[in-house]
Amino acid sequence: MVSTLACENGMVLGQQKTDCKSNEITAIPVLLDLLEIKGCLITIDAMGCPKAIAHKILNKEANYLLALKGNQAMLFSQVEKLLGPEISRPCQDGTLFQETDYQRNREEYRCCIVTNDMSQIPTAANWPMLTTFEVIISYRKEKGKVSKELNFRYYISSATLTAEELAASAREHWSIENGLHWKPDVGMKEDDCRIRRNGASEIMAGVRHVAMNRLQSETSFKKGVRAKQMKAIRNTDYLEKVIFDK
């Protein structure tokens, strides 16, 4: 199942089931056709990096920010070669952004670098409206121990982004792991569901997303999804508030 998350408000906007003998590459264009995305920045992981998907996003009058990995081998190698030396060079205003994130016992340092120089990437001409190349270099310090290796994440975009804008967009995309995976599993016990008959699993996935959206929209009770579920079970007035209040 491929789903779309509006990161700013944490709402699932749509979903599309993948074919039995296919994968997300065929489902993503179908899902994009269902959505009004004009003026939005669409972020997708490396699975959604084919040129056809980039064309589809642009045709819907939106911009793309796509993770770049080895499945686009030639472009990846050229971007890696271009941005690698930038780590040790002075960067112009807006092309470098650094931040540190503190969460409980974990500290993560991130350095974001962007470039709009298309002249050194011959493969860029084959991509629609490709404007920006980006890399995020990070390492973690957890419980006093520093990770031994740097983590490099590469991106391509049709939008002209500063390094700070890239960092913010990448953070929002990483929130999908929490908003689309962790919360349904913990709050809705999705991974424990054994419904398989006909299209029932697809229907139940949609029901969970609707329920998740309604629970997250209800803000009078300042607790997590699981706590809101338990309150709705015990209190019919609160259940009606979750279902009907705008």
What is the domain partition of the chain in residue ranges?
36-174, 196-244
Give the residue among 34, 38, 66 at the shortest CA–CA distance from 50: 66
* 123 in Cβ contact with 74 (< 8 Å): yes
Q: Say how far apart CA 135 and CA 156 lie, in whole Å.
A: 9
**pLDDT (tens place) for every residue of the chain, 246 residues total:** 788 888 877 778 888 887 766 678 888 999 999 999 999 999 998 888 889 999 999 999 999 999 999 889 999 999 988 887 655 554 555 688 888 888 777 888 888 989 888 888 899 989 999 999 999 988 888 877 777 788 899 999 999 989 999 989 988 887 776 667 677 777 777 777 777 777 787 788 888 888 888 888 888 998 888 899 899 999 999 999 999 876
